[in-house]
Structure 1
Amino acid sequence: MTTTTDTENRPRTADEIGAPLLELRDLQMHFATRGQGWLGRGSEPIRAVDGVSFQLRAGETLGLVGESGCGKTTTGRMITRLLEPTGGQLLYQGTDITHLKERDLRPYRRELQLIFQDPYSSLNPRHTVGSIIGAPLRVHDVVPKGKELDRVRELLEVVGLSPEHYNRYPHEFSGGQRQRIGIARALAVQPKVIVADEPVSALDVSIQAQVMNLLEDLRKEFDIAFVFIAHDLGVVRHFCDRVAVMYLGRVAEIAPRDPLYGAPAHPYTQALLSAVPDLAVARGGTPRERIRLSGDVPGPLDPPTGCRFRSRCWKAEEVCATTTPPLVELAGGQAVACHFAESAEPVAA
């Protein structure tokens, strides 16, 4: 009987196979609902995520933005496989991990970590900080037995906390300090990808900049790729290399940071950016025109046919109701799903 070494079991690097670090191909997450008919049959699923595709390179940061309920958090939980997708493919370093069982998924869990939004509920109040950060070290055998405490102290120092506070409980720390503990827990297993699910939205404004600066420093020091989920477009512009705009479970536009903020192609992206405070106005500049969307956001249980944004779009025509616009690549790495997109011409096939 042949045996397999840990080295053979590890996920191959992106350089070894020439593939993106992470790739989503038409990823879907549909949740079943209780029907109204006989035995609850005949119900339509909630299409929380309904065909999301993008790639993430090593060391890159990709921002996921959009209104509440657009599927950002669900996408992040599928990437870390806290949720098993109902359709599409999730590839990590060229390997399809979409439906891997828990035993086969373990090596990949080490490299795909999540920072939760709420630092108050994401830490077990009955465990000390040392136990919380040390748990992944023990589960994944990251350090030799008996060396966990040294590694915990080192991680606490890396995120700007006192190494001697390992024996304290979460309630003894402020919100910003608790989020630093959550960041240390994610760093413990030396991941290649971190999904940060609105990591500063629950913190005071005075603390948000400190945590964002910490994430930026960690990104540079450890060459970590981030999927950064946020509502704050200003934070995303500061932190992310590329930005994907989601609307009702799909990607409306994805582009490098500067082209997207400078010349958004999708009407929804234009509306979002028009609502961002403009510092030029404070310096005496002319305020840009605010785009105000009419109507309510449709629900994922019964989304509009064709383009999902058409019910609120001022450019909508008949084709928008009958044909779903594909995500078409434009010049400069910009891609947009709109029949009447602005910006550069599509890239020739």
Structure 2
Amino acid sequence: MSDTMRPVDATTSPLLQVRDLKMHFPIKEAAGLGRTKKVVQAVDGVSFDLKPGQSLGLVGESGCGKSTTGRMITRLLTPTAGQILFKGTDIARMKEKQLRPFRRQLQIVFQDPYSSLNPRQTVSNILTTPLRVHNLVPRGQELQRVQELLERVGLNPEHHNRYPNEFSGGQRQRIGIARALAVEPEVIIADEPVSALDVSIQAQVMNLMEDLRRDLGIAFVFIAHDLGVVRHFCDEVAVMYLGKIVEQGPRDQIYNAPQHPYTQALLSAAPDLGTIRGTPPKERIRLVGDVPSPIDPPSGCRFRTRCWKAEDICATQEPLLIGKPKSGPGHAAACHFAEPKIDLTAATA
């Protein structure tokens, strides 16, 4: 954990509990053809806890269900099944009127800073809208609050009357973060918030979110495919594959002793700094085949069609996400043959 990260008390009760969350999208087919109705199993049984001030990284290939999970948590999507418990209250199927107070507490920062802001509204209008919706600030004090938010995210408060197209990509993402902060949330879903930005700007935005986490105690679900960014920001990591979490645990255990073959493959493909430091480069694990369709996922273990460890049991019995004591407390992997055989410490220390 970096020196600036806010420590998380292990005895604190979870702020957010996701239980067996599923999102199945039905596929529309021509009527009268006698075909069986099919669904896209975008997310199929995801569970995790998030404590106050904690940052959980959701990582995996494109299409694995990361963003869909984030949109369900904020109730931009209504789950097919499962629970979303915020401070013990299940919000998974609440009606809009019931949801309003919870929407304040669960905010989202979108991936694309260009399409997530209304180009016809000034920054002042964009930031004032959530204040009015939730009746947070008296009318005469709205501008002051808007300027405070802009200053908090590192922008000039005097630029409140400008339009989004007058800002750079990094500045627009700061405006998106300010919009999420306006309602004083306890949880922010950051959906690949820096993937569309230049590398130099990524670091600045990441440092801003780290400051917010430290200073305000906001918990983050950080969705990303960049393992380096996740390692910098998150203290807990969950690896997703084809709609399921296949490995989860403390960041250092995941990165230094990955147990699931898919996690090992992801980390082996990450940029190798070992060669710069004079150590032997880590061996690249090259997966064969394409990611299976979420319409018809493989039986048993969904990763088995690309896994070099797969045996007959992998096709007939789905592995459970259970802890592996040898790896350390809180570290779990959904693999019949999980064990930390590949140690990447030398290459990433």
Give your verdict on TM over 0.5.
Answer: yes
Which residue identity lines up with residue 338 of structure 1 in the other structure?
C
Q: 3-state SS of the aligned residue for 1:287?
A: coil
Count of equivalent residues: 328
Q: Deviations over 1:194-236 (max 9, x none)?
A: 0000000001111110100111111111000000000110000
Which residue identity lines up with residue 182 of structure 1 in the other structure?
G
Q: Deviations over 1:219-254 (max 9, x none)?
A: 111000000000110000000010000000000000
1:52: Cα distance to partner? 0.2
1:37: Cα distance to partner? 5.4
Which residue of structure 1 lines up, in the alignment, with residue 43 of structure 2? 49
- The 2-side partners of 1:25 and 1:218 are apart by 27
- Describe how 1:20-59 pairs up with structure 2 within 5 A: 20-36=14-30, 38=32, 42-59=36-53
Q: Is the 8 A contact 2:274 2:282 kept in 1?
A: no
Which residue identity lines up with residue 330 of structure 2 in the other structure?
G
Q: 3-state SS of the aligned residue for 2:131?
A: helix
Which residue of structure 2 lines up, in the alignment, with residue 230 of structure 1? 224
Q: Is the 8 A contact 1:35 1:42 kept in 2?
A: no
Superposed CA RMSD: 1.4
1:170: Cα distance to partner? 0.3
Which residue of structure 2 lines up, in the alignment, with residue 210 of structure 1? 204
- The 1-side partners of 2:82 and 2:332 are apart by 20
* 2:156 counterpart of 1:159: no
Which residue identity lines up with residue 261 of structure 2 in the other structure?
P
1:291: Cα distance to partner? 0.5
Which residue of structure 2 lines up, in the alignment, with residue 191 of structure 1? 185
- Determine which of 320, 329, 332 is the counterpart of 1:326: 320
**Cα gap change, 1:307 to 1:205, in 2 (>3 Å):** same
Deviates more, 1:140-149 or 1:46-55: 140-149
- The 2-side partners of 1:146 and 1:212 are apart by 33
**Cα gap change, 1:250 to 1:122, in 2 (>3 Å):** same
- Determine which of 327, 330, 335 is the counterpart of 2:332: 335
Which residue of structure 2 lines up, in the alignment, with residue 106 of structure 1? 100
1:142: Cα distance to partner? 1.4
**Cα gap change, 1:316 to 1:207, in 2 (>3 Å):** same
Q: Is the 8 A contact 2:26 2:38 kept in 1?
A: yes
1:35: Cα distance to partner? 2.5
List alignment gaps of at least 5 residues for structure 1. 1-14, 345-349
1:41: Cα distance to partner? 5.4
- The 2-side partners of 1:215 and 1:151 are apart by 19
1:87: Cα distance to partner? 0.5
Give 4+ residue runs of structure 1 displaced > 3 Å after superposition.
none
Q: Deviations over 1:18-67 (max 9, x none)?
A: 74100111000000101255178522100000000000000000000000
* 2:246 counterpart of 1:249: no
- Determine which of 58, 70, 74 is the counterpart of 1:76: 70
Which residue identity lines up with residue 163 of structure 2 in the other structure?
Y
- The 2-side partners of 1:230 and 1:272 are apart by 13
**Cα gap change, 1:315 to 1:210, in 2 (>3 Å):** same
Q: 3-state SS of the aligned residue for 1:279?
A: coil
Which residue of structure 2 lines up, in the alignment, with residue 90 of structure 1? 84
Aligned-residue identity in percent: 70
Which residue identity lines up with residue 274 of structure 1 in the other structure?
S
**Cα gap change, 1:41 to 1:145, in 2 (>3 Å):** farther
* 2:262 counterpart of 1:268: yes
Q: Deviations over 1:294-322 (max 9, x none)?
A: 01110111100110000000000111101
Q: 3-state SS of the aligned residue for 2:160?
A: helix
* 2:297 counterpart of 1:303: yes
Which residue identity lines up with residue 222 of structure 2 in the other structure?
F
Which residue of structure 2 lines up, in the alignment, with residue 3 of structure 1? none
Which residue of structure 1 lines up, in the alignment, with residue 119 of structure 2? 125
